[in-house]
């Protein structure tokens, strides 16, 4: 005789199994998240011994201003970092991220060149001191190289030039997580514009280089800043000579940029609400 099936009990048992499965999956995900947090590393800073007096002066300025500690504290608190990243100030190389060693090299000479460029162009007349402007560029440059590190360590898909992606992420991090981040980004844009004046005649290599042209980096950075807060930075439309159409596009571009990076970085955040769009 065929056994009669108790459909009500079958449904209840199925429901219980589904609930149990969901609980198990959530527990596994929570355990994985906890494991990742427990095994998260930090960015560490070290300084090579200066070889000359000018390098010693630069080193003293870096330590006094504390900009590196500011950057690393924010990034360490924001991201789960599966591999240790090293930020080294030294006498040669860079600025560059070396993926095989997870090390960012920042030469003292780079900082000195930035400072001298601001001096030569009388940047203090803008109302921003040369020292502040130089430290702003250091912050943006470190974030740019950290962007390369995150792209590499997280194996993130990038569909544009990686240098452009790193510029964009550095600027976005400034805007979202740093006090006066937009102002820091504007200073970084200004150094791109000043550097662009070095090139009078373009060669083929200028166009196939890994980096976009300095003048393009200038406009791209200002576009992101304007798009992040158009009411506050209306003067950038005039400064960058943006058309009305371009200004509107910058707003759309910023929203798309933020949404895209938020989606890419969400699995690697210590707090998923940090990048909430």
DSSP-based helix, strand, coil % in the chain, nearest 5: 65, 10, 25
* pLDDT of the chain, 277 residues: tens digit per residue: 444 445 455 555 555 555 554 444 444 444 444 445 556 889 999 999 999 999 999 999 999 999 999 999 999 999 999 999 999 999 888 899 999 999 999 999 999 999 999 999 999 999 999 999 999 999 999 999 999 999 999 999 998 899 999 999 999 999 999 999 999 999 999 999 999 787 666 565 555 456 678 899 999 999 999 999 999 999 999 999 999 999 999 999 999 999 999 999 999 999 887 776 5
- Judged by DSSP in three states, 270 sits in coil
Give the residue from 28, 24, 47 showing the smallest Cα distance to 36: 28
Rama region for 78: left / alpha / beta (φ>0; ψ in -120 to 50; rest): alpha
CA 93 to CA 31: how far, in whole Å? Answer: 41
* Under 8 Å between Cβ of 160 and 89: no
For the chain, give the longest Cα–Cα distance: 99
Closest CA to 182 of 256, 234, 130: 234
Whether the predicted model's global pTM rises above the 0.75 cut: yes
């Amino acid at each position: 005789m065929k056994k009669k099936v108790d459909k009500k009990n079958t449904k209840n048992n199925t429901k219980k199994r589904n609930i149990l499965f969901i609980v198990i999956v959530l527990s596994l995900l929570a355990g994985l998240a906890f494991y990742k947090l427990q095994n998260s590393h930090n960015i560490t800073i070290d300084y090579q011994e200066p070889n000359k007096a000018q390098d010693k002066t630069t080193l003293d300025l870096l330590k006094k201003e504390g900009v590196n500690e500011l950057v690393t504290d924010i990034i360490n608190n924001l991201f789960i970092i599966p591999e240790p990243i090293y930020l080294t100030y030294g006498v040669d190389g860079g600025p560059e991220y070396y993926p095989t060693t997870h090390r960012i090299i920042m030469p003292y000479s780079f900082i000195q060149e930035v400072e001298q460029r601001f001096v030569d162009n009388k940047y203090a007349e803008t109302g921003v001191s040369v020292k502040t402007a130089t430290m702003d560029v250091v912050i943006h440059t470190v974030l740019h190289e950290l962007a390369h590190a995150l792209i590499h360590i997280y194996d993130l898909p990038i569909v544009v030039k990686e240098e452009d992606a790193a510029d964009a992420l550095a600027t976005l991090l400034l805007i979202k997580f740093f006090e006066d981040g937009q102002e820091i980004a504007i200073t970084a844009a200004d150094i791109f514009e000043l550097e662009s004046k070095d090139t009078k005649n373009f060669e083929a290599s200028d166009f196939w280089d890994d980096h976009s042209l300095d003048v393009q980096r200038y406009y791209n950075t200002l576009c992101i800043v304007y798009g992040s807060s158009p009411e506050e930075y209306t003067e950038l439309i005039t400064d960058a000579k943006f058309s009305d159409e371009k200004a509107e596009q910058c707003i759309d571009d910023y929203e798309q940029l933020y949404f895209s990076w938020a989606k890419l970085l969400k699995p690697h955040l210590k707090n998923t609400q940090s990048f909430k769009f």
